[in-house]
Structure 1
Amino acid sequence: MRISSNTIYQWLEEDLPYFDLTTQVLGVGGMQARMSYQCRHPAIACGTEEAAVLVREAGAQIVSMVNSGETISIGQEFFVVEGSFSALNEITKVIQNIFEYASGVATRTQQLVSAAKQVNSAINILTTRKVFPGTKALSIKAILAGGAYPHRLGLSETILLFKQHIDFVGGFAAIEDCVARILAQDCEKQILLEVESAEDLEAVMHLPIHGIQYDKINPDELSVLVAKVRKVNPQLTQLAAGGITLDNAALYAATGVDGLVTTAVYFGKPADVGVRFVKL
């Protein structure tokens, strides 16, 4: 995945609007140094390619690095660079922030993917749009590194009718005509409908749509609904959403749905990444 250099430089400008005052007053900026990053626990690395952009911009050199998506072990030096102390100290905290937040998301994603696939090897893990504003590009890269895919990258991508949409077009009693109107206007885009109950499902499972998204339906009830749809309209994609976490991912995966839609991987403890400087 590509994140533009301009975006990455903006991350640096937030921390370095002008110059590094501490290094300036100490007069040590011209000294040569090696800077290395290690994680204090096993993790999925993410953001090393973006960190490399900052290293090159600072005029430093990369000694070694792992790729995003690779597993790193405790204490492993997974990103090592050399250059002037000034160049390295200017970028050290931004790089550490990238690693901690992105690798934290990637690691939680990999854990959830692993838990779900242990009981349903074909299942997809799909992440929502509920990222903290301004972090979307790095968040998407992190979930890809962890083995998931974005559910929707934005409102322009797919047609997904939530409860508020359905209410405003006349409810489930009017949903068949609504779908027909959508197809008459945009036959190319996939249509998904969200349902919250067995009654909702009855109104939509025969329709010429791409899929159904079940919202906050418990795993026992969901298993019954998924099996019913498989008999009536087997080509429909079925997704479980609402409250999917690492703790219950396996239960929802066992229901037979095609995918789990989750926000949980975006929120949690960052990876615990340390940085070490050595004078050359």
Structure 2
Amino acid sequence: MYNLIPDSEIGRFIEEDVPYGDLTTTLLGIGGEPGEIAFTTRERTTVCCTEEAGRGLARCGAEVLFALPSGTVAAPGTEILRAAGPAAALHAGWKVAMNLLEYASGISTRTATIVERARAVNPAITVVTTRKSFPGTKKIAIKAIMAGGAFPHRLGLSESILVFSQHTAFLGGLDAFLERIADLKSRAPEQKILVEADSADEALRIAAAGANVVQVDKMPVAELAALVSEIRSSFPGVAISAAGGINAENAAEYAATGIDILVLSSVYFGKPADFSTSITPKPNQLRS
């Protein structure tokens, strides 16, 4: 259901953490001792990247015994991943697995909270996230937001059309651009045309010109509710998205205006999820 991080990236994560072996485990002489590693939630968590964490442990020489799938909502005290193997493998994969789990699950949990709150007041709303994830982490971030019930707003500049004032400034302004919407639609018939408005007046002009989606940024909730009502009445085929400063505290208010799409970046920023890790020897494995 969710995208997988390529093996090459998992290998890079391991190489960053264990570039020349594990000095501590080697000096202690415990690398060959059998054991198990387990990761457990400390709080309610929408789990993400258990698959990749397990694959990282496997690359280090462990065997995954159990893993909850990404997207699972786990109560505090739930074991989400367990693996067995020599101590050297468990210690080599420990922090890579933990970092993947905690950072990705932090994003997925924040996302799930917003999706839940928004849909409680507007069941038809779609929650999407921007391309403001930290550079180099997009695959993890996208997997995490999808595990939380959202979808990507734009994966990049190559697959979608979203026109900002920074574009129309080169065309003679918004009105000059709006005269070209029909031509733009004919040149990209498989794509929807999204245009961002800086005011309610601009939003209505954009809707009248035939844009598929009007996006507003940082518009106060009361003003947005009135705009949604007017667009629904006059231009019923036009969808409305709201972006800018939307988070878990105000998502329900924005959703209640009746918009179609909630666009946000806030889920990328915040504390990681909190897991505990145990690594324990299993001497009986020697006799199995």
TM-score interval (norm. to shorter):
over 0.9
Shift of the alpha carbon at 1:218? 0.5
Q: Distance in 2 between matches of 1:20 and 1:135?
A: 25
Shift of the alpha carbon at 1:202? 3.0
User: TM-score normalised to the size of structure 2?
Assistant: 0.95
Q: Distance in 1 between matches of 2:38 and 2:180?
A: 57
Partner of 1:170: 172
Match of 1:57 among 56, 59, 73: 59
Unaligned runs of 5+ in 2: 283-288
Q: Structure 1, residues 157-180: CA drift from partner, whole Å, max 9, x if none?
A: 111001111222111221222323
User: TM-score normalised to the size of structure 1?
Assistant: 0.97
Partner of 1:222: 224
Partner of 1:238: 240
Number of residue pairs the alignment of both structures matches: 280
Give the SS at the match of 2:257.
coil
Q: Distance in 2 between matches of 1:10 and 1:36?
A: 23
Q: Distance in 2 between matches of 1:202 and 1:191?
A: 15
Q: Assess if the C-alpha contact under 8 Å between 2:42 and 2:274 holds in 1.
A: yes
Give the AA of the match of 1:207: A
Please, what is the CA RMSD of the aligned residues? 1.1
Give the AA of the match of 1:103: S
Q: Distance in 2 between matches of 1:183 and 1:258?
A: 21
Q: Distance in 2 between matches of 1:78 and 1:2?
A: 18
Partner of 2:277: 275
Q: Assess if the C-alpha contact under 8 Å between 2:121 and 2:255 holds in 1.
A: yes
In the TM superposition, 1:71-90 aligns within 5 A as 71-90=73-92
Partner of 1:129: 131
Q: Do structure 1's residue 196 and structure 2's residue 198 form an aligned pair?
A: yes
Give the AA of the match of 2:65: V
Q: Distance in 2 between matches of 1:55 and 1:11?
A: 11
Give the SS at the match of 2:121.
coil
Unaligned runs of 5+ in 1: none
Q: Assess if the C-alpha contact under 8 Å between 2:179 and 2:209 holds in 1.
A: no
Shift of the alpha carbon at 1:249? 0.4
Partner of 2:36: 34
Q: Structure 1, residues 84-122: CA drift from partner, whole Å, max 9, x if none?
A: 000110000010000110000010000011111111111
Shift of the alpha carbon at 1:187? 2.3
Shift of the alpha carbon at 1:55? 2.2
Q: Distance in 1 between matches of 2:29 and 2:276?
A: 25
Q: Distance in 2 between matches of 1:111 and 1:25?
A: 45
Partner of 1:156: 158
Q: Distance in 1 between matches of 2:191 and 2:148?
A: 27
Q: Distance in 1 between matches of 2:43 and 2:182?
A: 53
Partner of 2:7: 5
Q: Assess if the C-alpha contact under 8 Å between 1:47 and 1:103 holds in 2.
A: yes
Moved >6 Å (runs of 4+) = none
Partner of 2:181: 179
Shift of the alpha carbon at 1:79? 0.5
In the TM superposition, 1:141-152 aligns within 5 A as 141-152=143-154
Q: Distance in 1 between matches of 2:200 and 2:48?
A: 41
Q: Assess if the C-alpha contact under 8 Å between 1:126 and 1:261 holds in 2.
A: yes
Give the SS at the match of 1:134.
coil
Q: 24-33 vs 207-216, which deviates more?
A: 207-216
Q: Distance in 1 between matches of 2:191 and 2:118?
A: 28
Q: Distance in 2 between matches of 1:181 and 1:169?
A: 14
